[in-house]
């Protein structure tokens, strides 16, 4: 009983997790975390704000360390997660596929989705992660808000809505879209709802969730397996097979073996010259194998990079990220 009393008196521990390609979701969630920290009455504490890939750990352990998970994410390409959210989503997908039960039981969560409704996979990652968190035992304590950044005009059509990050937009509420509602309004709506819910999170933890995962939105979600997710960008998955690295190590091993063979067994007067000359044809292969993969669109952290309307040269002909 004493332990239960201490748990009840302790502040609600909140972890904020983002997935973002161009920085909008990260900036939005960071802004929200700062707002919540400044207004906390001691009933909750924002422990950290990190990228999803940094939150990869045993899910049961995650539930022991935190009480609430706040998630802000966009989608990339064909509804895939941002590069810094991939491993976290794969962790959830694997847990569901392996029949892990409800390792997140006792936790609560809410999701803020970023995206543009011009894409057919609009809000896919936010919806997918919201669905998985609920299926793995977490209670949805604030309805997901889906920001549509495709809208840039105000209700009067005269000028863009004020903006603090990104390029302007709207918010989808229910199964219909409310165009011409500034994205900032949707962001503030979610932030205010989270703020109110956090203050009573201890009391509401055992209540039914506030809504089903498919609210808001049209219920459409493309569920991908961990193998499908890893296939999209395998270099982003920790401990994934790295044939390039293996090849580089093999070439290095051959070079070292050649050197020691000539030096200690053949007693060549010029062991290094002989061995290096024999390996010169392999040098381009070694360099290409050891050089890190290049994705030129990762160099762009500001949404303004895409304002010229021609996106193909940023992505090498690949799909442009939602955010």
- The full DSSP string for 33-92 is HHHHHHT--SSEEEEEEEEGGGG-S-HHHHHHH-SEEEEEE--BTTTBPPTTTHHHHHHH
pLDDT per residue of the chain (323 residues) written in tens, 0 to 9? 444 544 667 999 999 999 998 899 999 999 999 999 999 999 999 999 999 999 887 899 999 999 999 999 999 888 999 999 999 999 999 999 999 899 999 999 999 999 888 888 889 999 999 999 999 999 999 999 998 876 543 333 333 333 333 333 344 433 334 433 357 888 999 999 999 999 999 999 999 999 999 988 778 899 999 999 988 766 555 444 445 556 666 767 777 776 666 665 555 555 555 555 555 555 555 555 444 443 333 333 333 333 333 333 333 334 444 44
Least Cα distance to 107 among 69, 145, 54 occurs for 69
Least Cα distance to 143 among 222, 216, 73, 202 occurs for 216
CA atoms within 13 A on the CB side of 114: 30
Report residue 212 as tokens.
Answer: 């089903």
Report d(CA 40, CA 46) in Å as an integer.
9
Task: Identify any residues that bridge with 113 across adjacent strands, giving them in sequence order.
Answer: 73, 146
Q: Count Cβ atoms below 10 Å from residue 137 Cβ, excluding itself.
A: 18
The number of helix segments (H) and strand segments (E) in the chain equals 12, 8
Local structure of residue 262 (DSSP, 8 states) = I
Angle between helices 124-135 and 86-97 (to 10 degrees): 40
Report d(CA 80, CA 296) in Å as an integer.
18
Q: Where are the strands (E) in the chain, listed by range?
A: 12-19, 44-51, 68-73, 108-115, 139-140, 145-148, 170-173, 176-178
Report residue 122 as tokens.
Answer: 């609009």
Q: Where are the strands (E) in 118-250, listed by range?
A: 139-140, 145-148, 170-173, 176-178
């Amino acid at each position: 009983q004493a332990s239960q009393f201490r748990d009840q008196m302790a502040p609600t521990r909140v972890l904020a997790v983002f997935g973002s390609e161009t920085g909008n979701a990260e900036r939005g969630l960071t802004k929200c975390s700062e707002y919540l920290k400044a207004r906390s009455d001691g009933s909750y504490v924002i422990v950290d704000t990190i990228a999803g890939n940094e939150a990869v750990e045993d899910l049961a352990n995650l539930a022991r360390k935190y009480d609430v998970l706040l998630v802000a994410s966009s989608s990339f390409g064909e509804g895939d997660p941002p590069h810094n959210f991939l491993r976290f989503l794969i962790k959830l997908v694997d847990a569901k596929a392996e029949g892990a039960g409800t390792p997140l039981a006792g936790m609560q969560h809410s999701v803020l989705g970023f995206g543009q409704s011009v894409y057919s996979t609009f809000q896919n990652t936010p919806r997918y992660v919201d669905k998985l968190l609920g299926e793995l035992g977490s209670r949805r304590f604030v309805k997901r808000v889906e920001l549509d950044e495709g809208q840039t005009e105000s209700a009067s059509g005269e000028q863009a809505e004020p903006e603090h990050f990104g390029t302007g937009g709207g918010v989808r509420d229910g199964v219909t879209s409310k165009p011409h509602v500034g994205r900032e309004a949707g962001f503030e709506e979610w932030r205010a709802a989270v703020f109110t819910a956090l203050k009573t999170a201890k009391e509401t933890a055992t209540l039914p969730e506030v809504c089903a995962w498919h609210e808001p939105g049209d219920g459409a979600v493309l569920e991908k397996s961990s193998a499908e997710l890893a296939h999209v960008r395998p270099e982003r998955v920790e401990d994934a097979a790295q044939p390039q690295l293996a090849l580089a190590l093999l070439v290095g091993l051959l070079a070292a073996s050649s050197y020691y063979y000539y030096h200690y067994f053949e007693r060549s007067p010029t062991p290094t010259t002989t061995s290096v000359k024999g390996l010169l044809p392999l040098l381009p292969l070694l360099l290409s194998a050891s050089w890190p993969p290049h994705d030129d669109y990762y160099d762009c952290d500001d949404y303004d990079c895409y304002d010229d309307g021609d996106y193909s040269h940023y992505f090498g002909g690949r799909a442009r990220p939602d955010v």
